[in-house]
Amino acid sequence: ATASAMGYGAVKYFDLRRNPTSNYIFSYDRMLDTKGNTAIYLLYAHARLESIIAKGKADFNVDVDELISSKKTKVVLGHKSERNLGLHLQFFADCIEETLKDLYPYHICDFVYALSNAASEFVTQCKVLGSEEMESRLLLCRATTLTMRQCFHLLGIRHVMRI
What letter represents residue 8's amino acid? Answer: Y
pLDDT at 24: 66
Residue-level pLDDT at 3: 78
**Residue 72: strand, helix, or coil:** coil
- Residue 91, C-beta contacts closer than 8 angstroms, at least 6 positions apart: 111, 114, 115
Of 48, 45, 23, 46, the closest CA to residue 35 belongs to: 45
pLDDT of residue 15: 76
**pTM for this predicted structure:** 0.88
108-127 pLDDT, tens digit per residue, is 999 999 999 999 999 999 99
Alpha-carbon distance of 10 to 108, in angstroms, equals: 15
Quick: pLDDT tens for 19-73. Answer: 666 666 666 566 555 677 888 899 999 999 999 999 999 999 999 999 999 998 8
- Taking Cα atoms as reference points, which of 93, 125, 124 lies closest to residue 108? 93
Mean pLDDT (the chain) is 89
Predicted local confidence at residue 10, as pLDDT: 77
Provide mean pLDDT across the span 6-23.
75
